[in-house]
Chain A
Amino acid sequence: MYELLLIGVVAFVTVLTRAIPFLLLKNKSSPFIEYLGAVLPYTIMPMLVVYCLKSVDLLRGNHGICEILGVVSVILLHLWKKNTLVSIFGGTIVYMLCVQILFI
């Protein structure tokens, strides 16, 4: 029962965060909202990259070597092949090999 309640709470708050702008602003569009719609994706995606890499510590541990290798692989693969699947798959394999083989 506890498990179901907890999952229910997480599900409810999650949909709440997604619905809040629609509930509060009643769908009234404004030039500012349009401006945000156009430029926000360019700003938020870099933030999500930082979010994914937030635990990397350049000064301690592995110095983020695997993360750097992984990200560089993704960028190079993507510039070379321009294929999203290849870039993601390749970069993830490089990263997994790095953390599993080099640092155990």
Chain B
Amino acid sequence: MKKAFVASIPVMMGYIVLGMAFGVLLESKGYGFIYALLMSVFIYAGSMQFVTINLLTSGASLMSAAIMTLLINARHMVYGLSMMKKFEDMGSLKPYMIFSLTDETYSLLVTKVPKDVDEKKYLFFISFFDQCYWVIGSLLGSLLGSIITINTTGLDFAMTALFVVIVLEQFLSSEKHFYTYFGFVISIICLLVFGSGAFIIPSMLSILGGLFMMYKRGGQIHV
């Protein structure tokens, strides 16, 4: 539990800051504390919750909300795909592990588990702590937003910074950087071809397709 807490500190930082940004924004649109709580407990998906604020204020239909969620969160399917083995023997904790599989939690769960810990508990507490940070952050933001007005422009860069650090760490810890380059090249090509609104799905399909072909040609796990 202690090791899980230490491992989750980077996400604590990102989630509390980003959660606060979310809470402040939600409050500024006239949705109070209880909405922040409901959304962070039950939706628990960073970028999607920001989008949900727009959906609420624009009075979007339930159908368009469902489609939007499907498109924005489609990348989670890929996370699940690569976590199937790890979650296999999580028993009664498995449903929660699946529910709470966010971008950041995923990035922590795929890093190496310390040797002398109970893997099951370690993984669960990482996921659980992460959601606690997110809920606390959004509640703090909601409260803060109702008290003072601060200029939060640019605060959401915390998420970008977090991802950049993760990629850098992966880059430094691997020898061949093939898969990192592959990810950048495919997604930038898809961004240029399909535009910022629609490139995520083609990127994921191309990445999965590309990896499948490499696997068929005897792709090595050596990264």
Contact = CB atoms under 8 A, between A and B. Distances in A.
Interface string A36-56: 111111111111111111110
Contact of B203 (A45, A47, A92): A47
A6 interface: yes
Interface of B: 9-10, 13-14, 17, 31, 35, 38-39, 42-45, 48, 52, 55-56, 59-60, 62, 65-66, 69-70, 73-88, 98-99, 101, 103, 106-107, 110, 151, 153-155, 157-170, 174, 179-184, 186-188, 191, 196, 199-200, 203-204, 207, 211-212, 215, 219, 221, 223
B158 A88 contact: yes
Q: How large is the interface on A (under 10, 10 to 19, 20 to 34, 35 or more residues)?
A: 35 or more
Given A37-B86, A39-B223, A91-B164, 16 more contacts: A7-B42, A10-B66, A22-B87, A36-B211, A37-B85, A37-B110, A41-B107, A42-B223, A46-B181, A47-B183, A50-B191, A87-B165, A92-B154, A96-B155, A98-B154, A99-B154
Interface of A: 2-11, 13-22, 25, 27, 29, 32-55, 66-67, 70-71, 74-75, 78-79, 84-85, 87-89, 91-92, 95-96, 98-100
Q: 7 tightest CB-CB pairs across the interface, nearest first? A: A46-B183, A42-B179, A21-B80, A43-B183, A96-B154, A13-B69, A84-B10
16 contacts: A6-B56, A7-B38, A18-B79, A20-B77, A29-B85, A35-B221, A39-B211, A39-B223, A42-B174, A43-B207, A43-B211, A48-B103, A50-B187, A74-B164, A88-B13, A96-B154
A46 B184 contact: yes
A45 B66 contact: no
B160 A6 contact: no
A34 to B, nearest CB: 6
Contacts of B56: 3, 6
Given A3-B35, A22-B84, A98-B154, A42 B43 contact: no
B167 A13 contact: no
Contacts of A15: 98-99
B154 A18 contact: no
B42 to A, nearest CB: 4
B170 A45 contact: yes
Contact of B196 (A40, A44, A54): A54
Contacts of A29: 84-85, 88
